[in-house]
């Protein structure tokens, strides 16, 4: 099982390579976006097109699913103002459990790459029904350790 940090590093490395190659293809070689996509698909083979969901979240979900207590894990998102991801975890006994994750993919950020939204706590900072409340801003985030892998995240999943 790979850690959140190692998955992020792999995604960031590929993202940097694709951005540099795209700049060269568009700027120097003056290719259209369709031609750029064709070249990138050819050069990066199965790695392109890519997304942080495919390269970070889905491997973590697969790790969670490999644990004895889970039968299936569905990945929903990203959605909303903060690119929230919902992992819907189906336990072997049929119960559904979930966890909402928020990414921070900024390469300059030195904190946690993923945070969990804590729906058991309510700060009351935003009035009930307000835009801030509807965005979930009354629920604090719990930073997940970057060394965590899927099995480390499992205890944070809500029933």
pTM, entire model: 0.85
Q: What are the φ and ψ backbone dihedral angles of 95, each rounded to 5 degrees?
A: -65, 145
Query: Region 65-69: what's the mean pLDDT?
Result: 92
Apex 150 CA angle, 156 and 136, nearest 5: 40
- Pick from 50-54, 65-69, 111-115, 116-120: least confident: 116-120
Give the rounded percent of residues in the chain with a pLDDT score beyond 90: 67
pLDDT at 159: 66
Residue 62 CA to chain centroid, in angstroms? 13
Domain-by-domain residue ranges, the chain? 4-47, 52-156
**What residues contact 98, with CB distance under 8 A and at least 6 apart?**
86, 87, 88, 89, 157, 158
pLDDT at 61: 95
């Amino acid at each position: 099982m790979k850690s959140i940090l190692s998955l992020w590093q792999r995604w960031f490395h590929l993202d940097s390579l694709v951005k540099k190659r795209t700049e060269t293809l568009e700027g120097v070689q003056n290719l259209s976006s369709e031609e750029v996509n064709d070249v990138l698909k050819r050069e990066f083979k199965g790695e392109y097109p890519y997304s942080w969901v495919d390269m970070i979240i889905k491997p973590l979900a697969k790790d969670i699913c490999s644990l004895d207590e889970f039968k299936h894990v569905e990945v929903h998102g990203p959605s909303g103002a903060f690119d929230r991801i919902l992992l819907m975890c189906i336990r072997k006994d049929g119960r559904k459990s979930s966890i909402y994750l928020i990414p921070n993919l900024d390469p300059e950020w030195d904190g946690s790459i993923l945070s969990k939204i804590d729906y058991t706590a309510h700060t009351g900072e935003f009035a009930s029904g307000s835009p801030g409340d509807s965005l979930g801003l009354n629920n604090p985030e719990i930073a997940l350790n970057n060394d965590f892998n899927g099995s480390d995240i499992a205890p944070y999943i809500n029933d």
